[in-house]
Amino acid sequence: MDGIGSIILMAVLGVVGLVVLIFLAMFARYAKLWLRAFVTRAQIGPLNLVLMSLRKINPQVIVDARIMAVQAGLTSIPTRAMEAHYLAGGNVHRVVRALIAADRAKIELDWDTAAAIDLAGRDVLEAVQTSVDPKVIDCPDPRRHGRDTLDGVAKDGIQLKARARVTVRTNLKQLIGGATEETIIARVGEGIVSAIGSCESHKDVLAQPALIADTVLRKGLDSQTAFEIVSIDIADIDVGQNVGARLQADQAEADVRVARARAEERRALAVAREQEMRALTVENEAKVVLAEAEVPLAMAEGIRAGRLRATNRTV
């Protein structure tokens, strides 16, 4: 029994020793990484580094992100959350940098929201940067829509060609599920065209282009979008065609064509009626000729029947 116990003890010690050797070999691979985490107070132990490797997680990424967060004062972000985000296919570095930027700018943003934005395919760092430093969107954008101006017609019939610049900042609360820049451009374009169309005269717009911007801004066009409109500025406005006069001329020409068509219709009806009357006249003349041809026959028949007598008068 003592011999068997000794064999079992030696086997157990051998297994433990093998496990320890394997652990030490793996730890040696991450010794420098653990030392970095230790001196920067990232609080990532050697066992965690080995387990990350076994879970197919790159320890370098997690340690770097954890060090950035701790050095920036964001100690509340758990390492397990970073690991879960890495396994979900997210960009841990970008999320941590976004949280640091938001914290410096006094913008309310937590890890769950930032991670959800990143996993949704949005650039969370760019979103935070846009919240701090608003971006300017051209409306319309020639690179996207192939148009240089927004064309509207005032009530006096004069066409105006406008270009606007929209300053927006990211609305982090609506970034997930919110509409993109395309919606902002479309709404602002529709608002500018509508505002021009509601003006009595194009001169009012030329005198105060800001009236259009103020009218559009009051409509709340950033509702349900990922952005908040800061300002709308009319960059340029030009006078186009006299659409009202052109439409009137086109209408007059159309009326002339309609009148000509109606006159031609009446002339064709008159010609047709004349031909009908001529045909009717010829038909009646033929009936008269037939009637005259029957008179001699009727007289001869009367003489033969004794109903008519020939009378000779001597003068």
Tell me the per-residue pLDDT of 101-112, one tens digit each, with 9 for 90 and over. Answer: 999 888 888 999
Q: pLDDT tens across 50-65, in order?
A: 788 888 888 889 999 9
pLDDT at position 315 is 43
136 phi and psi angles, rounded to 5 deg: -110, 130
Read off the pLDDT band of 248 (50, 70, 90).
confident
Neighbours of 70 (CB within 10 A): 17
pLDDT at position 210 is 80
Q: pLDDT tens across 1-33, in order?
A: 556 666 676 776 777 776 666 666 666 667 788
Read off the pLDDT band of 302 (50, 70, 90).
confident
Q: What would the two tokens of residue 58 be? A: 């790159």
Place of tokens 């060090």: 67
Q: With beta carbons less than 8 A apart as the criterion, state whether 148 and 163 touch.
A: yes
CA separation for the pair 224, 122 (Å, rounded): 16
Neighbours of 204 (CB within 10 A): 16
Share of the chain above pLDDT 70, in %: 90
Range(s) within the chain of domains with CATH label 3.30.479.30: 135-242
CA separation for the pair 190, 206 (Å, rounded): 19
Left (φ > 0), alpha (ψ -120 to 50) or beta: where does 106 sit?
left
- What sign results for the dihedral spanned by CA atoms 130, 105, 221, 163? negative
CA separation for the pair 57, 69 (Å, rounded): 18
Please indicate, yes or no, whether the overall pTM of this predicted structure exceeds 0.75.
Answer: no
* Residue 158 burial by Cβ neighbours in a 10 Å radius (0-12, 13-18, 19+): buried
Which superfamily, per CATH, for 135-242?
Answer: Band 7 domain (3.30.479.30)
Determine the Cα angle at 134 with ends 76 and 113, to 5°.
30
87 phi and psi angles, rounded to 5 deg: -65, -30
Residue 222: partners with Cβ closer than 8 Å, 6 or more residues away: 168, 171, 184, 228, 229
Neighbours of 251 (CB within 10 A): 10
Neighbours of 101 (CB within 10 A): 19
